[in-house]
């Protein structure tokens, strides 16, 4: 019911609304429009959509925080425009206004904001070639993995979307931004989060050899030492193999506890359950899966953070009622870097997973790449 409520809240953006004065935090967004789209009619339609979006917020007190998020979104787009990326009114509304409404609502209900991954799969800008490679490799390797899984009677399959989102979440997004100078010289653990990569690679020696032959890579040469390094292509393939390994492990854990098999769960739920094991090695309780899928973890994650102190650092999260007050201040959504809690991590990537489904056309509902680069 919580998931339905969130969907209904956001669906309100398409309905009629009465324009009201926008908060001051919307001013930078409006100022950016002239730069983002010189078409005055397009800019006017975006401004009108912004008026409606603010009026349709489930809680009017969120307006300053929402406008701040939109302004920062448009500022990032302004920087992308300098790299040759173009924005029309529908794209500004979908990946700007609608996306930030989703982020604000998710921050309030889940305590964690979705990762910003929509710009890493649009195949435009300075990193376009690598974004195209990520999608192409994920699309090509998934059926190879699934054929191997069938041969080994694993009973699981993986999709290109699972591979791509996991890659971005485990370090791929940083490789295409802050660490772009090291994009083809990546440490398997520090650079792309493949903590047990030798275990996974050794587990499937025939598969690894086949991938090296098909893709011209050298995964089999990785020895688990401090000098190991991967190309970008190898990071995608390594993530794919490790995701298969962890998904098989997840299926085994579910079977051992006589719980609902992965194959009987939706793709969204498969991704959440597997990602929790991928991050922590732990099979969480069913209620936790449903909380994550519904973005209904705000109270839970804030409570876990408080109860874990002082043994662990406080997580940069807050309960829903505190989020209401925070959004009313118009401050930027909190920076939420990597930390120690698996639910926190998976909420970030699952939020990105949902956003990619709602605000891009890159993946099909079945997790396939909709249009190969």
- Residues in the chain, total: 373
Classify residue 301: in a domain, yes or no. no
pLDDT of residue 15: 41
- Could you tell me if 169 and 120 are in contact, meaning their C-beta atoms sit under 8 angstroms apart? no
Classify residue 98: in a domain, yes or no. yes
- Look at residues 183, 174, 244 and name the one whose alpha carbon lies nearest to residue 211: 244
For residues 211 and 179, what is the distance between their CA atoms, to the nearest angstrom? 26
Classify residue 327: in a domain, yes or no. no
> Tokens 């085994």 sit at which residue?
252
Distances, alpha carbon 335 to alpha carbons 49, 107, 114, 159, 293, in Å: 27, 11, 11, 30, 22
Looking at the structure, do residues 143 and 272 belong to the same domain, yes or no? yes
Residue-number span of the structural domain to which 75 is assigned: 2-110
The whole-chain average pLDDT of the chain stands at 92
Whether pLDDT at 72 is above 90: yes
pLDDT of residue 373: 52
Looking at the structure, do residues 38 and 132 belong to the same domain, yes or no? no
- Could you tell me if 323 and 82 are in contact, meaning their C-beta atoms sit under 8 angstroms apart? no
Convert 150-212 into a string of H (helix), E (strand) and C (coil): HHCCCCCCCCHHHHHHHHHHHHHHHHCCCCHHHCCCECCCCCCCCCCHHHHHHHCHHHHHHHH
pLDDT of residue 13: 40
Classify residue 143: in a domain, yes or no. yes
The SS3 of residue 363 is strand
> Could you give phi then psi for residue 230, rounded to 5 degrees?
-125, 145
Looking at the structure, do residues 81 and 207 belong to the same domain, yes or no? no
pLDDT tens per residue across span 300-355: 999 999 999 989 999 999 999 999 999 999 999 999 998 999 999 999 999 999 99
Classify residue 122: in a domain, yes or no. no
For residues 342 and 174, what is the distance between their CA atoms, to the nearest angstrom? 19
- Share of residues in the chain with pLDDT > 90 (%): 82
Burial of 87 (0-12, 13-18, 19+ CB in 10 A): buried
């Amino acid at each position: 019911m919580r998931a339905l409520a969130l969907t209904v809240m956001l669906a309100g953006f398409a309905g009629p609304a009465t324009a009201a004065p926008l908060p001051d935090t919307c001013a930078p967004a409006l100022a950016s429009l002239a730069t983002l789209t010189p078409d005055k009619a397009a800019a006017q339609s975006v401004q009108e959509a912004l008026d409606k979006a603010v009026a349709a917020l489930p809680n009017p007190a969120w307006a300053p925080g929402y406008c701040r998020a939109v302004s920062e979104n448009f500022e990032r787009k302004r920087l992308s425009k300098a790299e040759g990326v173009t924005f029309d009114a529908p794209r500004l509304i979908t990946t700007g206004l609608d996306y930030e409404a989703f982020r604000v609502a998710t921050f309030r209900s889940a305590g964690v904001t979705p990762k910003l991954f929509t710009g890493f799969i649009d195949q435009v800008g300075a990193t376009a070639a690598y974004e195209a490679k990520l999608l192409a490799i994920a699309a090509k390797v998934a059926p190879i993995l699934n054929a191997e899984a069938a041969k080994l009677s694993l009973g699981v399959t993986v999709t290109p979307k699972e591979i791509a989102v996991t890659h971005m979440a485990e370090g791929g997004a940083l490789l295409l931004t802050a660490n772009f100078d090291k994009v083809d010289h990546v440490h398997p653990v520090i650079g792309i989060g493949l903590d047990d990569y030798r275990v996974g690679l050794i587990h499937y020696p025939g598969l690894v050899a086949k991938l090296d032959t098909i893709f011209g890579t050298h995964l089999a040469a990785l020895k688990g030492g401090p000098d190991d390094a991967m190309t970008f292509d190898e990071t995608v393939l390594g993530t794919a193999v490790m995701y298969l390994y962890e998904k098989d492990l997840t299926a085994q854990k579910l079977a051992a506890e006589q719980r609902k098999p992965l194959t009987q769960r939706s793709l969204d739920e498969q991704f959440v359950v597997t990602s929790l094991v991928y991050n922590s090695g732990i099979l969480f309780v069913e209620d936790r899966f449903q909380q994550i899928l519904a973005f209904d973890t705000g109270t839970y994650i804030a409570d876990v953070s408080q109860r874990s102190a002082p043994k662990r650092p406080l997580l940069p999260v807050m309960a829903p009622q505190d989020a209401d007050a925070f959004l009313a201040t118009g401050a930027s959504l909190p920076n939420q870097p990597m930390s120690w809690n698996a639910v926190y991590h998976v909420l970030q990537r699952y939020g990105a997973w949902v956003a990619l489904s709602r605000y891009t056309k890159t993946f099909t509902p079945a997790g396939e790449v909709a249009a190969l680069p």
